[in-house]
Amino acid sequence: MPLADELEGGCACGALRFRMKSAPMFVHCCHCLDCQRQTGSAFAINALIETDRVELLSGEPRPSAMPTDSGRPHDIYRCTACGTAVWSEYGGLKKLRFVRVGTLDDTTALSPDVHIYVRSKLPWITLPDGVPAFEAYYSSRDVWPAASLDRRRAILG
Ligand SMILES: [Zn+2]
Ligand SMILES: [Zn+2]
């Protein structure tokens, strides 16, 4: 993963700005039907990073609760001014943030480390060689680099 040391991003109107203080632990490209509906697109790209490594520079992210099949909470945080979704919190895990890679100033800075829920992937998308892909979810223990697993353990135990 070639990465900038600091990655900045923000919403469409510019009121909300943030900085990722380090590289994420891992990057998901999620092809599930919820992500398709919530983005109005083919998939969501999420950078998984510790919440305390995401510095809010300006603006007010406000959560909106999404319905989920599992019943576990999923809050999407949006700019209060323009409504752009900038990150998600899943399962009420406050220490882990899913930052939407498309909101980074440099959207080429991060690329998916894994493709998930490819069972609902749109048929015209061809997955790249060499990137793991799973029909549904997966075990991070099997796929993540050791350093990222250490970071995950430090926040989630
Ligand atoms: Zn905005
Ligand atoms: Zn998804």
As beta bridge partners, residue 27 has: 47
Render pLDDT for 87-105 as a digit per residue (tens, 0 to 9). 999 999 999 999 999 999 9
How many Å lie between the centroid of ligand 2 and the Cα of residue 10? 21
Q: Which residues fall inside 5 Å of ion ligand 1, going by CB?
A: 11, 13, 15, 79, 81-82
Render pLDDT for 5-30 as a digit per residue (tens, 0 to 9). 579 999 999 999 999 999 999 999 99
How many Å lie between the centroid of ligand 2 and the Cα of residue 39? 10
Render pLDDT for 52-84 as a digit per residue (tens, 0 to 9). 999 999 999 999 999 988 889 999 999 999 999
Instruction: Evaluate if residue 45 carries a pLDDT over 70.
Output: yes
Q: What percent of the chain has pLDDT over 70?
A: 96
Nearest listed ligand to the Cα of residue 77: 1
| Rounded average pLDDT over 28-45 | 97
How many Å lie between the centroid of ligand 2 and the Cα of residue 43? 7
Report how far residue 63's alpha carbon sits from residue 141's, in angstroms, rounded to the nearest whole number: 29
CA-based nearest residue to 48, from 105, 134, 106, 116 = 116
As beta bridge partners, residue 116 has: 30
Nearest listed ligand to the Cα of residue 69: 2
How many Å lie between the centroid of ligand 1 and the Cα of residue 82? 4
The sign one gets for the Cα dihedral 110, 111, 115, 118 is positive
CA-based nearest residue to 55, from 91, 92, 22 = 22
Which pLDDT belongs to residue 1? Answer: 46
Which pLDDT belongs to residue 70? Answer: 85
